[in-house]
Structure formats: C-alpha cells, structure tokens
Amino acid sequence: MPTLNDKDLNNNIVDVQSFAMNFGRKKVINNLSFNVRKGEVFGFLGANGAGKTTTIRTLLGLYEPTGGTLNIDGKRYNPRMSATIGYLPEERGLYRNELVINTMVYFAILHGLDENVARKRAFTYLKRVGLADKAYERLVKLSGGQQQKIQLGVTILHEPSLMILDEPTEALDPVNRSLLMDIIGERRSKGATVMLVTHRMDEVEQLCDRILMLKNGSAALYGKIDEVKEQFGPQIIVLNFSGKLPANDKLYKITKKSANYAELTWRENVSTDEVLKYLANNNELHLKTFDVRLPSLNDIFLELYKDEEAGK
Amino acid sequence: MSRLIDVISFEVRRNIKKKTFWYTTLVLPVIIIAVFAITQASSNHATNTSQQQTTSYSKTAKLAVLDETGLVNKQNLEKLHIAIEPNKQAGINAVKDGQLTAFFYYSNDVAKSGIQVYAQDQGITFTPPYNALASELLSQSAVAKISAATHNSQALQIIENAPSITATTYKNGAETNSLAGIVAPIIFFAIFIFFAIMISYFTIAATTEEKENRVAEILLTTIKSRSLIIGKILSILLLGIIQIIVIIVPLIIAYAIFHNHIRLPGGVSLSHIPLDPKAIAIGISVLLLGLVMFTGALVGFGSLFPSAQDASRYLALVIIWAFLPLYALGYIVSSPHAHIVTVFTYFPLTAPSTVLLRNAVGTLSNGEAVAAIIILFVSAIIAILFAIRAFSIGAMSYNKRISIKELFHQ
C-alpha cells in the first residue's frame, strides 16, 4: 500500500485552515478549519449545498481557494499524489462503452500501478464483489448498483492511504451497502484514512471517529461523535408511556411526541430527577420505560438544519 | 510522460474499436469508389448501348438521306440499308406519312447549318439514336475521304483522336512541371480539409465524453489537465492519421499501378509527380501545426459545453474557418497580394488552408511561409492552453455551458 510520509507531527493527513471560497459574489465557504487524522474515519456532513463537495474539490486541487490553505500530507494536492488517494466523487461515472476490466486497469495505471498488478487486483476485486463474470462486459450493460461497485473498485484498487468517499452508498441496496461498508472497514483496518461524505447518520455512527457538520459554509459542529453530541446541547429524556403526557413549560419541553412515545428536553436549572419525579407522580400518566441519553446524530442533523427545511 | 502515453494508448485503443470510427473513416473512400465505379459503368454502358443502338437501329428502321455535300459514303449507306432520297420535302413527307422512320438532310453548307434530322416520335421512353447515326455517317465518310486523299495514316489518327500534349515549362532557367507540381503539395491541403470534415465532430464527442460520463473529476485528480488534454489532442491526431492512411494507401497503390494512364484535365500527365522539397517541408509544417491548433481549438470549444449534442449546434463556428479561404480561391491563385489573401494568410484560423493552397500553387514566398509557420506555432500553443483552461473549468460544469467570462474569471 502506498504510504504517506510521516513527518506530520500532529498526525494530520488532511489539514484545512481558514478556507474561504467565493463563486462570484456568492460566499460558499467561510473561514473553515478542520483536520483529518491518519487512520481515522472522518465524517464530513452537511445538508445539500452546505459546501461539502466544494471543500473536497478544492482540497483535491480541482478548484483554487479564495483564501486559506488546504493540504494533504502537508502539501497542496496535485495529481502526482494520486497513488495515495482514492476519490469517489459525488458526480461519478465511468466510460460507459468501455469494458469493465479495461476501465479498472486504466484508472489503476493512472494511479501508478503496473498494468499486470492492476489486472490481477481488478480480477480479485471483481471476484470479491461477485462481478467476476462481468469483467468483459461493457459498463453500460451493468445495473446501477454493479456500476457503483466498479466505481468503488476504481477508487481502492491502488490501495490508497486516504480515501475520500462522497456518498459511497448512494443507490445501493442493503446487501450491497453492507458489502461496501465491509470493504471500507477492511481498508480502515489496514491503516487507511477515510473521509466520508454521507447523509446517512446510521453509517456515520457506525463508522466514524470524528465528524464535521457544515452549515452555510462554516463548521457548525466538529469533533468526536460524543463531543459533538455534547456540544450540540441538552440530553434528552426518552419516554414510553400510556395515558396522557402533561405539558409543563416550567420543567421541560416536549420535542417529539406520538401516542405512546415522547422525547423531552428539560429546562435550565431543572434536574432530570425533578422531571422524572413529576412525571412518575402524575396520576394520568403511566410510565413504562424511560431513558436519559444524548441526542442521536440524526436528531442533531435535523435540529441543525430545521431552519433551512422550514425556509424551503 | 508515461501517463501521457497511457492516455494516448487508452484513447486510441478504445476509439479504434468503435464502429463509428470505422464508419466515418470508410464512408468517404466508399462513396468515392462507388461514385467512380458507377460513373465508369454508366459511361461504358452508355457507349456500348449507343453503339449497339446505332447499329441495330439502322438495320431495323426505315431510313433515308439526302446528301447535297457528296461526302457521305454510298457504300456505307447500302451496308446499313439506308435509302437515298432525292428530294428534301419528299423525305419529310415520307416521315410524316409513316413510310420512313427517319430522314437525314445534309445541306450544301452542312458545316455551317448543321445536319437536319426528321423522325417519327416514338415517345419519351425510347430515344432512337437519330443524331448519333446522322453524325457518324457524315464524319466517318469525311475522315475516310481525307485519309484517302492524304495517304497518311497519322493524319487519320489525329482527326479521330486529338493528340496528347506534353508541356515543358521553365522557371528561373530550370525545368518545371507547373500543373503536375501542384499535386504533391495540394495533398496537404486535402488532408487538412478532410481532417476538418471527418474529425471535428469526433473531437467534440471525445472531449465532452468525460463530462457526459462524469469521468472528468476522477481523471483530473489522477492526471494533470495539461497531460490529459495533450494526450487527447495527440490521440485525436493519431486517429486522424490512421483515417488518412486508410484513404491514401489505396490511392498510392492505384497511382503506382495506373500512373501512366492518369491524366488531369488539360492533358497533364501524372506519370511523374515532381516533389519539391521546400514545398513538401512547408506543407508538412503547416499541416501539423494547423491540425494541432485546430484540434486544440475544437477540444477547448467542446469543453465549454455539457454535451456533444449541445456543442455540435455551434460546431460550424469553428470549422467554417478551415473552409473560408475557398471563397477567396480566385484571389489566392491569381492575386496572391490581394488584401484578403494577406489577411487569410496571417489570421491563425484561416492560415492553414490559405498557406497550404498558396504553397501548392506556388504563390507563397519564403518570408510569408516562415511568418505563417511562426504564427501557427504560437497559435497552436495558445489553442492548447485554451483547451486546458476550458477543460479544467468546464469539466465539472455538468449541466450548463461555460461562458467566456467564466473562462477567464473563474
């Protein structure tokens, strides 16, 4: 596996500092700083139009930044470094009329592999993902999911030490999504760093060590998942109940409610004990279970972008 | 460098396997061969049919002549069962009455007034060879009389077939072969025009393919846009050369076999095609630089559009420059110092066609050739830089056309 040099004392493979990007008069990214550490899975999250793809394209030298620095392994990216990078873009595709094997070998060669090694690895990969019999098919003959697997193969065949995957599980069925997550997990276990762009919070919770949530071109939340959850704000009380859940603005606020389920956040200067005592003593309410926990990433995501959703 | 070779190799291999490449390559030679074969077959058929019709017609039809010139051979008339009619009006009346199929009248001043033919109308679907027979009767008899009078077989041959002309011309004391001398350098012009026709859409399609297939983003993170575009341009040129070879090789073989029999209009023999090293060197230089510039411009132009279909609507804006000098062909050949020729010679997009034409007809001075080559060299570099810039900017604009403003401000 090609390795990145290890001179970087703070162990960052990606380092973005004060990144700003304008398209004409439109500010897309504003003073964004973050880093990705070697060997971690980093979730790069945000709603559509938040600036994720712009950041990645600028990181990979496809755009020039308006301001700030974006480095990979301490340097501005250039295509000579492609042997260590595997990039699966959001807008993806391959030469539709070309044979699967030729496409995989061509891109592996461009990533610096010898043709024979590339061919051997391509066949191994195709066998792994159940497409060995499609090696000499034209890509256009393959289903969307099968093309997606070939696309991932093109991204990882040269065994990069940094993989930047933009919505890698998009358009995959659950079986293939699981297969792909396994492959990403394997790459990670061999020391590769993964920068994952996804809308699927379950994947983020499953895979990521740290995340950055981007909103309006700035980092809204950044850090380890638990830290982000704590940064985001109050824990929630999750209730399963029967009867009638009373409203009590002085103690808590009901954030989510259905017939027998509710989520509450409690007011400042009020403890969870007070809230639970109040609910337990309420004659019209019969509590079955309760839990005090941090909000899920999905909750955070929805809360963070609810004003944008409302704006729509 | 190795990635450049990888790109060229991949592009050439995958395009050469495409059916459309071979369709476009073979369509022109197939059309030329088909038209040539049909023309030859039609010509032979027409000649044979005409001769057969003339002979059989004279045997089956009832014909008569009145010859006031005394030139028409009486034995010929007997052989063809053609009667002699003593009176013009009687002959015309016999045709009107249906007693004769046709009546030919050769007046005393036939050379001036021409042969008069009176014949039955047999409908538009059948055209009897009245005219050919009437004409042949007179000309064969006249030739026979001259031949008998001169006792000179060469005179007879000269009358029957005009002799060929072998012209020897001199320039600055040295022997030249002006018309045949055009042949070699004009091939470079023909190749350039062929390239403009055959390769332009192919170039646009090859350029937008990355965008349409959403491959550009991966490519540009693995290979520098400069290497990718130069690789594309070189692969397109290579494919163009393959197309040209496919067309030219059969022509060279045909020339090797038939060169003693090929004549240009005006009787110019192609048994020997002069090769002027200077004209050939200028032709090669201008052709190569012109092709690189033209391909670079096309790649850049194609990169501005989201798809080949969109780009093809505006394709004429680029390729028209290759053909524009043909509108000034008269000036290029006869008035090389006209303002329009000067402008076309030095304006980069019209320079290749103009300079190649002037190089062929011999109106290009050494100074003009050097200046044009320098202009084309610089233009080719600018075209490649434009292509790289346009591809880099346009590669990720998947759904919209890139404006010139965006090209320079992004």
Q: What is the pLDDT of residues A245-279, one digit of tens each?
A: 888 778 888 888 888 998 888 887 888 888 888 88
Chain B residues with CB under 8 Å of A97 CB are 14, 18
Residue A42 has pLDDT above 90, yes or no: yes
Chain A residues with CB under 8 Å of B397 CB are none
Q: How far apart are the CA of A131 and the nearest CA of chain B, in angstroms?
A: 21
Position B350 scores a pLDDT of: 93
Rounded CA-CA distance B216/A91 in Å is 9
Chain A residues with CB under 8 Å of B18 CB are 97
Single out the residue of A130, A121, A122 nearest to residue A100, CA to CA: A122
pLDDT mean across residues, chain A? 86
Rounded CA-CA distance B104/B139 in Å is 14
Single out the residue of B367, B326, B316, B324 nearest to residue B348, CA to CA: B324
Chain A residues with CB under 8 Å of B10 CB are 102, 106
Single out the residue of B154, B159, B133, B110 nearest to residue B50, CA to CA: B133
Residue A63 has pLDDT above 70, yes or no: yes
Chain A residues with CB under 8 Å of B214 CB are 89, 91-93
Single out the residue of A177, A178, A155, A4 nearest to residue A90, CA to CA: A155
Instruction: Say how many residues make up chain B.
Output: 410
Residue appearing with tokens 């959703």: A309
Position B51 scores a pLDDT of: 59
Partners of A23 in the beta sheet?
A: A26
Q: Any chain A CB within 8 A of the CB of B400? A: no
Partners of A300 in the beta sheet?
A: none
pLDDT band at A5 (very low <50, low <70, confident <90, very high): very low
Q: Taking the CA atoms of chain B, what radius of gyration do you get in angstroms?
A: 31
- The pTM score is 0.71
* B45 sits in which H/E element: helix B19-60
Single out the residue of B135, B77, B144 nearest to residue B110, CA to CA: B135
Q: Provide mean pLDDT across the span A120-130.
A: 93
Q: How far is C-alpha A247 from the chain's CA centre?
A: 37
Indicate the pairing of strand A85-88 with strand A162-166. Answer: parallel
Nearest by CB to B217, from A62, A77, A110: name it: A62
Single out the residue of B294, B289, B271, B281 nearest to residue B185, CA to CA: B281
Partners of A193 in the beta sheet?
A: A162
Q: For chain A, give percent helix, strand, coil, nearest 5.
A: 35, 30, 35
Residue A116 one-letter amino acid: N
Rounded CA-CA distance B115/B106 in Å is 5
Nearest by CB to A96, from B3, B213, B217: name it: B213
CB contact under 8 A, A93 and B213: yes
Rounded CA-CA distance B77/B106 in Å is 14
pLDDT band at A122 (very low <50, low <70, confident <90, very high): very high
Which parts of chain B have pLDDT scores under 70? 1, 40, 42-59, 122-129, 160, 162-180, 259-273, 409-410
Position A86 scores a pLDDT of: 92
The residue of chain A with its CA nearest to that of B212 is A93
Position B174 scores a pLDDT of: 64
Q: B348-364: string of b/e by CB count within 10 Å (b at 16+)?
A: bbbbbbbbbbbbbbbbb
* A12 sits in which H/E element: strand A12-23
Residue % of chain A over a pLDDT of 90: 36
pLDDT band at A212 (very low <50, low <70, confident <90, very high): very high
pLDDT band at A1 (very low <50, low <70, confident <90, very high): very low
Residue A37: both structure tokens together: 């550490």
Which is more confidently placed, A233 or B5? B5
Position A201 scores a pLDDT of: 84
The residue of chain B with its CA nearest to that of A98 is B14
pLDDT in tens, A138-192: 999 998 888 888 998 999 999 999 999 988 887 777 887 888 888 888 888 888 9
Residue A69 has pLDDT above 90, yes or no: yes
